[in-house]
């Protein structure tokens, strides 16, 4: 018997879902998996290849790396196109700004070194420091993750930078059937928690609920605090909190920490 035996948890992730589900299952949880988004395969993404070739078309002054997974995925895709080393050479010649330790780890694993790392692991700190670094007239490569960030890339452009945004992971809306079944499980009180590992997954749950006439009822249920909405970090939680849904987040923005939070909140000691 595990700490979560008899506890049903909804998981909305696609990327690393197997790892996450296996970790919860080790504690005995019953996991209902319904990805709310699907990820475009990197090596088959024409937009990623075009973005990579755009990066290589001229020298790079600054690079912003927002996620370790996104950066590694970009390099893996570039390797399949025979562009990994040219990409490393181009980025290595620039001043690299990283959003925290996971991005730093990916950079150093590729033999690159960062100029700056955001201690708060926030995009606000990362892009604030980059904008203040003097980007006027410079070519700035921004590695995105999942969604565009106009609120951060816009100020770079306004400061006179030539911004080249590359998006290694692009998400599409998932087939609605499993998601609607998950929403019905929430509304019927079958789930003790919903777990979210990305902002697009959280946001698209609400979008699909709205498109299928379940938004008001779903949001009202989630606002009650039952089921618990557990998010890996504040960025992931933002779409839910904007809808007035309370969330819980671990102190460290890591998948393992999210599992521990769920165990603490939903086990006998946390009930």
Class assignment of domain 42-166? alpha beta
pLDDT digits (tens, 9 = 90+) for 151-187: 999 999 999 999 999 998 777 788 899 999 999 999 9
* pLDDT (0 to 100) of residue 1: 54
Map out the domains of the chain as residue ranges: 8-39+172-266, 42-166
The model's confidence at residue 69, banded by pLDDT at 50, 70 and 90, is confident
HSE-up of residue 84 (Cα within 13 Å, Cβ side)? 14
pLDDT at 125 over 90: yes
Q: Does domain 8-39+172-266 have CATH number 3.40.190.80?
A: no
pLDDT digits (tens, 9 = 90+) for 224-233: 999 999 999 8
The model's confidence at residue 268, banded by pLDDT at 50, 70 and 90, is low
Show Cβ contacts of residue 271 under 8 Å, excluding neighbours closer than 6 positions. none
Rounded Cα–Cα distance for residues 170 and 264 (Å) = 33
Asked whether this chain's domains 8-39+172-266 and 42-166 adopt the same fold, the reply is yes
pTM (predicted TM-score): 0.69
The model's confidence at residue 269, banded by pLDDT at 50, 70 and 90, is very low
pLDDT digits (tens, 9 = 90+) for 185-215: 999 999 999 999 988 899 999 999 999 999 9
Query: Of the candidates 55, 261, 39, 252, which has an alpha carbon nearest to the alpha carbon of residue 145?
Result: 39
The model's confidence at residue 41, banded by pLDDT at 50, 70 and 90, is low
**For residues 37 and 17, is the Cβ–Cβ distance under 8 A?**
no
The lowest-confidence range among 89-93, 143-147, 219-223 is: 143-147
Q: Considering the chain, what percentage of its residues have pLDDT values greater than 90?
A: 77
* pLDDT (0 to 100) of residue 60: 98
Kindly report the length of the chain. 271
pLDDT at 270 over 50: no
The model's confidence at residue 253, banded by pLDDT at 50, 70 and 90, is confident
Rounded Cα–Cα distance for residues 74 and 130 (Å) = 21
Q: What is the mean pLDDT of residues 34-53?
A: 86
Long-range contacts of 17-22 (CB under 8 A, 24+ apart): 19/255, 20/195, 20/197, 20/255, 20/258, 20/259
The lowest-confidence range among 21-25, 60-64, 75-79, 234-238 is: 234-238
HSE-up of residue 85 (Cα within 13 Å, Cβ side)? 1
Query: Of the candidates 138, 20, 161, 142, which has an alpha carbon nearest to the alpha carbon of residue 74?
Result: 142
Rounded Cα–Cα distance for residues 131 and 152 (Å) = 9
* pLDDT (0 to 100) of residue 213: 97
pLDDT at 255 over 70: yes
**For residues 13 and 20, is the Cβ–Cβ distance under 8 A?**
yes
pLDDT digits (tens, 9 = 90+) for 75-100: 999 999 999 999 999 999 999 999 99
| Ranges of H-type helices in the chain | 17-26, 46-55, 68-80, 84-92, 101-109, 123-132, 150-158, 176-187, 199-211, 215-223, 234-242, 255-266
């Amino acid at each position: 018997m595990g700490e979560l035996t008899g506890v049903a948890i909804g998981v909305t992730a696609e990327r690393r879902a197997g790892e996450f589900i296996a970790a919860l299952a080790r504690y005995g949880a019953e996991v209902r998996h319904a990805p709310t988004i699907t990820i475009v395969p990197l090596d088959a993404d024409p937009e990623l290849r075009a973005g990579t070739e755009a990066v290589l078309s001229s020298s790079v002054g600054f690079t912003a790396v927002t996620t370790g997974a996104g950066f590694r995925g970009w390099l893996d895709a570039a390797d399949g196109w025979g562009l990994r080393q040219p990409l490393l050479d181009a980025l290595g010649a620039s001043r690299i700004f990283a959003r925290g330790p996971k991005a730093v780890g990916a950079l150093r694993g590729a033999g690159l070194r960062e100029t700056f790392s955001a201690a708060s692991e926030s995009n606000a700190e990362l892009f604030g420091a980059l904008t203040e670094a003097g980007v006027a007239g410079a070519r700035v490569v921004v590695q995105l993750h999942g969604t565009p960030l106009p609120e951060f890339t816009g100020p770079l452009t306004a400061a006179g930078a030539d911004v080249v945004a590359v998006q290694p992971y692009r998400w599409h809306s998932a087939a609605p059937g499993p998601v609607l079944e998950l929403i019905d499980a929430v509304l019927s009180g079958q789930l003790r928690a919903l777990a979210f590992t990305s902002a697009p997954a959280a946001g698209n749950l609400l979008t699909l609920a709205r498109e299928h006439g379940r938004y008001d009822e779903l949001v009202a249920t989630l606002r009650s605090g039952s089921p618990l909405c557990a998010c890996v970090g504040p960025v992931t939680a933002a779409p839910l909190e904007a809808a007035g849904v309370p969330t819980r987040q671990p102190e460290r923005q890591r998948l393992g920490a999210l599992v521990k939070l769920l165990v603490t909140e939903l086990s006998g000691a946390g009930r």
